[in-house]
Amino acid sequence: MTRRSCAVYVAGIVCAHLLVVGIGLFVSQVFRTLMHNRLKKEIVLVEGSRVFDSWKSPPPPVYMEFFFFNVTNVKEFLEGTKPEVEQVGPYTYREYRYKDNVSMVDGGNKMVSAYNVKSFVFLRDKSVGDPAVDSITTVNIPAWAVMNKVKGSFFKASMVSIWMNSLKSGLFTTRTVDELLWGYEDPLLARIAPSNPEVEKVFGLMYKKNGSNDGEFIYHTGIENYLDYGRVDTWKGSSRLNFWTSNQSNSINGSDGSAFHPLLDKNERIYIFTPDLCRSIYMEFEKDVEVKGIPAYRFTPPRSVLASKEENPANEGFCVSPGECLGTGLLKVSPCRKGAPVVASFPHFYLADDKYVAAIGGLSPQRTHHQTFLDLNPTTGVIVRANKRAQINILLSRVPGFPTTRGLNETVFPVMFLNESVVIDDASAARVHKLLRIVTLVSNFPLIIVGLGGIMLAVFIILLIRARKQKNEVKRIVFTKPLYAASNDEDTSYSPVNDKEKDDEKNGTYIGMTPRVDQQD
């Protein structure tokens, strides 16, 4: 084989291999598409699917931590001094959650109905103290709620003021952690309740939330469109809210925070509807993370979610009234809290205007401790880690008809913040790893074959070049020695044809070289 023909042969093999690589890439993309389509069909809220049982009864343990702000200078604050608080906590509870009364809404498996039930069990080893013993001095929320309710009526305000004085119900109160969380009978509410059936005697930040639910949710199963997997269709029978002043603000968007569609993209917004905030919020991609070896995208609420209407005009609908718009980082949720002056924020006013932090001594917002985030595996949409953090505040200001409030400036006063956290357990992580390995293997199988073919091609070319080199070396040995070289070495290139030729000493190199003898005249 000539050098040129060899090069042509090798080039042909390379071209053929490149063609195989192209076909392999195409086939790999087809396999990947088929696998993604399989995921879209498997990750649906339908009986028998991979995720249905874990959606009804989530296996990883969920923990709820409560932190309180204990006021240390009540008297000075009522006289106009800056309030000072100290954080006390956590008081940690194991949160058990499951979906009750799960049923398909229609025959086509497009919608599923469920009630989200939560119950809490105290964990002493993960807490700073005993909630039945530890006391917290904080804002007297029932008193402030009643004062705000009657502030438009001079007669009612005067009567409530008299009742508060007689019952010694002040603007601040000292209660145990158990009472603040799970409820206590408030004397002022007990006085009002007989004449107003809507008023309950008992108040607690988590009152009636242990072993209860937030009402009926109807979810999309994702069987028609994988992007709708887990998306809330209606809550309490309605597809819209009625708390706010714009259609956009009253929209119910996204899931309830327990399920997210597979094949997530870094550029998309994740929407979550939360009854605690009476609204939907959104999260955006922040960074890539890894949890127990599982790759994940971290999504977190940006500053714009709770931005002021000046900073984000889309939030104007969350103003209770034009005169009650708060600054960035705050959301007044009084429309869904029976008119109580409750304000929601992130802990320590994280992502809020600096003025709210500066108004309260003892606050120090930090992203590590106060950020809300979700770590989601992008292939499956499974939650591998999450921290939901929110703070409850009370808006304090002068209230007409109540002399004790005369010395107060408007202050958003922190009461408590919670941290609801979860990390995927080892058994669930192993199942996710197995699924991801299957997806990776199936998607890349054609590429593996192409890669092996590439290795074989490289080996073949190396062997071909080596064989060509050895052949050239043999030719060089045979044809490069001089034909008439005079040497003492044995010349194996010539052999006598007979014995006579051997005895003739003039034979061989002397043939034709006999000296010429001149003839004599």
Interval 347-403: pLDDT, tens: 999 999 999 999 999 999 999 999 999 999 999 999 999 999 999 999 999 999 899
Interval 211-216 mean pLDDT: 94
Banded model confidence at residue 464, pLDDT cuts 50, 70, 90: low
Is 164 within 8 Å of 140 (Cβ atoms)? Answer: no
Residue 396: which of 138, 183, 163, 88 has the closest Cα?
A: 138
Query: In DSSP terms, which residues pair with 295 in a beta bridge?
Result: 290
CA separation for the pair 74, 91 (Å, rounded):
24
pLDDT single digits (tens) 267-323: 999 999 999 999 999 999 999 999 999 999 999 999 999 999 999 999 999 997 776
Quick one: tokens of 435?
């699924």
Query: In DSSP terms, which residues pair with 148 in a beta bridge?
Result: none
Q: How many CB atoms lie within 10 A of CB 189?
A: 20
Rounded to the nearest 10°, the torsion over CA 126, 131, 137, 142 is 120
Give the list of residues 6+ apart from residue 255 with CB closer than 8 angstroms, or none.
219, 230, 231, 232, 271, 272, 273
Torsion-angle region of 48 (φ positive above 0: left; ψ -120 to 50: alpha; else: beta): left
Q: Is residue 500 predicted with pLDDT exceeding 50?
A: no
Tell me the three state secondary structure of residue 515: coil
* 192 membership: H or E segment, kind and range: helix 187-192
For residue 313, the one-letter residue type is P
Q: How many CB atoms lie within 10 A of CB 109?
A: 17
CA separation for the pair 113, 95 (Å, rounded):
22
| pLDDT computed for residue 73 by the predictor | 96
pTM of the model: 0.80
Is 105 within 8 Å of 221 (Cβ atoms)? Answer: no
From residue 153, how far is each of 199, 342, 401 by CA, in Å?
Answer: 18, 21, 9
Tell me the three state secondary structure of residue 286: strand
Tell me the three state secondary structure of residue 273: strand
Percent of the chain with pLDDT over 90: 65
Mean pLDDT of the chain: 85
